[in-house]
């Protein structure tokens, strides 16, 4: 599509009757969108002839959400998810951009692979920022071509699914990545301490006879990476932080001036390891669900501003893969469509604009997407917006989701808060909770 024809087909939109929310605050305002950009924000806007009016009454209108951590499974895992279906699930959750994790088959470890996945994302319901691996083939042996990847526009590199086990290689990755502005995102889990583990090592794994993953598996590698990243000057992002000990390590590192950001997932904020008592593999996830004390520590850390993003770790798995013994089922749960409602419920005391920041402008800045996503709702800005009804009550029906997979731990939950409309680059991709493409 040429620039011209795209412009011709872009609609004029009025998001009417809502409260605009962004990093600058909240105000009652309508929003006029034309040619893919916000052109006016005012208390009342008369819809121009031919404009599409989106009802934002009783809802919040803000920059679209940005997920730092989505497994879209393509290529290689298309039975579980595709870029198209994952992005659709994201748009239904209010997201306008997803960082696609590179642990695909084959892994995204080259410029060619990055381009191939970007190609898959054309026409998708969200922007897809493709992350690449830190190491070639995600094997943890040699660095991937980080300079080339950075030059091709990659911003986040990660071997997610595993950390870089070799400390020397991790050190070199931080050092080598630093001048390119790459964010080195680590799945902190010491493979020897976690070996064979399928659940948090604690009272529940003990009673259930499940091999444990101790909190120290996360903390040992996080401590190592904080030391290495601090020395290199690289930008280090800690993926899915899940223990109180990790939070203490982050606090201490920040006092030393280490450039670190950290995300938490909605499921670690909302669930505990008690959920595994019935051996349902839907609750198997990495890092594992932790005890209540850790969950409370995460909630408190979010409230204290010590967490930089809420990220889903959306990890779809085909039904049959999860219908295996608990210890043999692949770890992971989906979360794009439920993220806002689950996080809102778990962080009930948190002001909504703070939560929105953790879902939108803060992760946008980490992922280098701030030019298009997460910015203020203001004239001239790209129209990547979502309209969220913070009081909408809805029941999670796994079968009704847009993801190709249904491995949600929230089946049957009544959530409060749901995206009503999502606007991507000036086009309506979700309207009244229905995907438009």
Please give the residue ranges that form the binding site for other proteins (CB under 8 A). Answer: 201-212, 214, 269-272, 274-281, 292, 295-296, 320, 323-328, 345-346, 348, 409-410, 412-416
Is residue 190 among the annotated active site residues? no
**Residue 224 or 295 having the CB closest to other proteins:** 295
Per-residue tokens: 12: 């004029």
**Residue 64 or 281 having the CB closest to other proteins:** 281
Output the smallest distance, CB 254 to other proteins, in A.
26
Quote the CA–CA distance of 319 and 340 in Å, as a whole number: 24
Output the smallest distance, CB 294 to other proteins, in A.
10
Output the smallest distance, CB 265 to other proteins, in A.
12
- Of the residues 313, 353, 389, 432, only one is catalytic, namely 313
Order of strands, sheet of 52-55, starting from the edge strand that comes earlier in the sequence: 37-42, 30-34, 13-16, 52-55
**Residue 34 or 240 having the CB closest to other proteins:** 240
Per-residue tokens: 302: 């979010």
Output the smallest distance, CB 93 to other proteins, in A.
17
Cα-flanking dihedrals φ and ψ of residue 168, to 5°?
A: -65, -40
Quote the CA–CA distance of 207 and 211 in Å, as a whole number: 11
**Residue 10 or 327 having the CB closest to other proteins:** 327
Beta-strand runs (E) in 125-181: 127-130, 156-158
**Residue 43 or 209 having the CB closest to other proteins:** 209
- Go through 52-84 and write b for each residue having 16 or more CB atoms within 10 A of its CB, e for each that does not: eebbbeebbbbbbbbbbbbbbbbbebbebbbbb
The H-or-E segment that residue 185 falls in is strand 183-186
Output the smallest distance, CB 409 to other proteins, in A.
8
Cα 282 to Cα 92, 319, 341, 345, 396, distances in angstroms: 22, 10, 19, 20, 15
Residues 6+ apart with CB under 8 A from 388: 59, 60, 62, 94, 340, 417, 418, 419, 420
Tell me the pairing of strands 30-34 and 13-16: antiparallel
Q: How many CA atoms lie within 13 A of 304 on its CB side?
A: 11
**Residue 133 or 408 having the CB closest to other proteins:** 408
Output the smallest distance, CB 250 to other proteins, in A.
21
The H-or-E segment that residue 417 falls in is strand 414-424
**Residue 180 or 413 having the CB closest to other proteins:** 413
Output the smallest distance, CB 350 to other proteins, in A.
12
Per-residue tokens: 363: 């992760």
Q: Which residues are catalytic?
A: 313
């Amino acid at each position: 599509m040429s620039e011209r024809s795209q412009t011709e087909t872009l609609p004029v939109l009025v998001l009417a009757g809502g409260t605009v929310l962004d990093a600058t605050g909240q105000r009652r305002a309508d929003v006029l969108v034309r040619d893919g950009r916000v052109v006016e924000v005012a208390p009342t806007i008369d819809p121009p002839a031919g404009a599409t009016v989106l009802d934002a009454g009783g809802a919040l209108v803000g920059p679209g959400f940005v997920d730092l951590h989505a497994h879209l499974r393509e290529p290689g895992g298309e039975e579980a998810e595709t870029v198209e279906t994952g992005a659709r699930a994201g748009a239904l959750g209010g997201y306008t951009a997803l960082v696609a994790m590179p642990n695909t088959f084959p892994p995204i470890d080259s410029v060619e692979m990055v381009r191939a996945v970007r190609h898959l994302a054309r026409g998708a319901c969200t922007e897809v920022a493709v992350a690449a691996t830190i190491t070639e083939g995600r094997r943890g042996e040699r660095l991937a071509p980080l300079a080339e990847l950075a030059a091709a526009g990659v911003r986040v590199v990660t071997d997610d699914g595993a950390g870089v086990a070799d400390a020397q290689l991790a050190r070199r990755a931080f050092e080598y990545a630093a001048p390119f502005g790459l964010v080195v995102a680590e799945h902190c889990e010491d493979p020897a301490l976690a070996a064979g583990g399928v659940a948090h090592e604690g009272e529940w794994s003990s009673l259930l006879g499940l091999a444990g993953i101790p909190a120290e598996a996360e903390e040992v590698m996080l401590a190592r990476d904080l030391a290495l990243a601090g020395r290199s000057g690289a930008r280090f992002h800690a993926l899915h932080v899940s223990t109180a000990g990790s939070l203490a390590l982050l606090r201490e590192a920040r006092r030393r001036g280490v450039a670190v950001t950290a995300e938490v997932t909605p499921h670690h904020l909302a669930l505990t390891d008690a959920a595994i008592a019935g051996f349902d593999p839907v609750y198997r996830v990495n890092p594992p669900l932790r005890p209540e004390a850790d969950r409370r520590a995460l909630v408190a850390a979010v409230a204290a501003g010590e967490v930089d993003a809420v990220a889903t770790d959306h990890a779809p798995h085909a039904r049959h893969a999860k219908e295996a013994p608990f210890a043999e089922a692949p770890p992971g749960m989906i979360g794009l469509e439920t993220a806002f409602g689950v996080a809102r419920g778990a962080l009930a005391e948190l002001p909504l604009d703070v939560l929105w920041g953790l879902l939108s402008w803060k992760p946008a800045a980490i992922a280098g997407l701030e030019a298009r996503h997460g910015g203020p709702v203001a004239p001239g800005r790209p129209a990547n917006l979502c309209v969220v009804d913070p009081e909408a009550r809805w029941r999670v029906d796994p079968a009704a989701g847009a993801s190709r997979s249904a491995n949600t731990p929230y089946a049957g939950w009544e959530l409060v808060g749901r995206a009503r409309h999502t606007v991507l680059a000036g086009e309506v991709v979700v309207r009244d909770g229905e995907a438009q493409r």
